[in-house]
Amino acid sequence: MRPAGRADWGAYLFALPFLVLFASFVAGPVLYGLALSFTRWELLAHEPPALVGLANFREAFGDPYFWKALQATFRFVAMATPITVGLALVVALGLNALRGRRQSLYRAAYFVPTLITISVAGILWRWFYNSEFGLFNALLAPLGIKAPWLTDTAWAMPSIALMTLWWTLGGPVVVLLAGLQQIPAPYLEAAALDGAGPWQRLRSVTLPLLRPVLLFVMVLNVIGAFQVFGQVYMITRGGPEMTTRTVVQYVYETAFNSYRMGYAAALSWLLFAIIAALSVAQFRLLRER
Amino acid sequence: MTGRSRWKSILVEAAVAAGALLCVAPVALIFITSLKPDAEIVHFRSLWPESPTLASFREILSNPEEIPILRWFGNSVLISSGVTALVLTVTSLAAYAFARLNPPGKRPVFAIVVGAMMVPGQILLVPTYLILNELGWLDTPLALIVPAGASAFGFFLLHQFFLGIPRDLEEAAAIDGCSRLGIFVRVVLPLSRPAMATLAIFTFAGSWNDFLGPLVFLDSVDRYTLPVGLALFQTSYFAEYGLTLAASVLCTLPVLLAFLVFQKHIIEGIALTGLKD
What is the ipTM, given to two decimal places? 0.88
Question: Is the Cα torsion angle B238, B243, B246, B251 positive or negative in sign?
Answer: negative
* Range from A74-88, A113-127, B145-159, B262-276 carrying the lowest mean pLDDT: B262-276
Max CA-CA distance within chain B? 74
Q: Which residues in chain A are contacts of B94 at CB distance < 8 A?
A: 14-15, 17-19
Q: Which of B183, B129, B133, B56 is nearest to A254 (CA)?
A: B129
Q: Give pLDDT, residue B206.
A: 87
Q: Give pLDDT, residue A3.
A: 47
CB pairs under 8 A between A and B: 279
Please give the share of chain B, as a percent, with pLDDT higher than 90. 45
Q: Give pLDDT, residue B235.
A: 77
* Range from A53-57, B160-164, B221-225 carrying the lowest mean pLDDT: B160-164
When comparing pLDDT for B193 and A271, which is higher?
A271
| Sites in chain A below the pLDDT cut of 70 | 1-6, 288-289
Nearest CA in chain A to B265: A108
Q: Give pLDDT, residue B274.
A: 58
Q: Give pLDDT, residue B168.
A: 86
Q: Are A218 and A211 spatial neighbours (Cβ–Cβ below 8 Å)?
A: no
Model confidence, pTM: 0.90
Q: Are strands A39-40 and A50-51 parallel, antiparallel or unpaired?
A: antiparallel
Q: Give pLDDT, residue B262.
A: 78
Q: Which residues in chain B are contacts of A138 at CB distance < 8 A?
A: 44
When comparing pLDDT for A6 and B32, which is higher?
B32
Q: Give pLDDT, residue A224.
A: 92
Is A15's CB within 8 Å of B248's CB?
Answer: no
Distance from C-alpha of A2 to C-alpha of B157, rounded to nearest angstrom: 24
Q: Give pLDDT, residue B26.
A: 94
Nearest-CA distance from A153 to chain B in Å? 22
Q: Give pLDDT, residue B135.
A: 96
Q: Give pLDDT, residue A2.
A: 46
Question: Is the Cα torsion angle B192, B155, B164, A174 positive or negative in sign?
Answer: negative
Hey, is B137 helix, strand or coil? coil
Q: Give pLDDT, residue B239.
A: 67
Distance from C-alpha of B213 to C-alpha of B129, rounded to nearest angstrom: 9
Q: Which residues in chain B are contacts of A112 at CB distance < 8 A?
A: 23-24, 27, 256, 259
Q: Which residues in chain B are contacts of A256 at CB distance < 8 A?
A: 129, 216
pLDDT reading at B266 higher than 60: yes
Q: Give pLDDT, residue A15.
A: 95
